Amino acid sequence: MEWMTVQEAGVLWGITTRRAQYLCANGKVNGAQKLGSIWVIPRGAEKPIDGRTKTAKENNFQMATSVTQK
């Protein structure tokens, strides 16, 4: 498996290195692992949806209402 660093992920995803570290530390990036003091991410990993955006909040609301209606 090929890996990339949080610095590479930040450039690829258009976010800061710190934000990529935060996403890894909180389990938002599938397959991310901490090796010593650095995070490594599988090269094909997708950028997680930013939960702070209006679109993400609307999607979360729609998912919550569909679950409660069943």
What total of structural domains would you count in the chain? 1
CA distances from 34 to 13, 18, 30, 38, 66 (A): 19, 14, 12, 6, 36
Q: Which helix (H) or strand (E) holds 42?
A: strand 38-42
CA distances from 12 to 58, 63, 64 (A): 25, 28, 31
How far apart are alpha carbons 21 and 9 in whole angstroms?
Answer: 10
How far apart are alpha carbons 34 and 60 in whole angstroms?
Answer: 29
Identity of the highest mean pLDDT range in 40-44, 46-50, 63-67: 40-44
Position 28 confidence tier, pLDDT thresholds 50, 70, 90: very high
Residue 31: give the domain boundaries: 3-69
Mean pLDDT of 3-18: 96
Quote the pLDDT of residue 69. 58
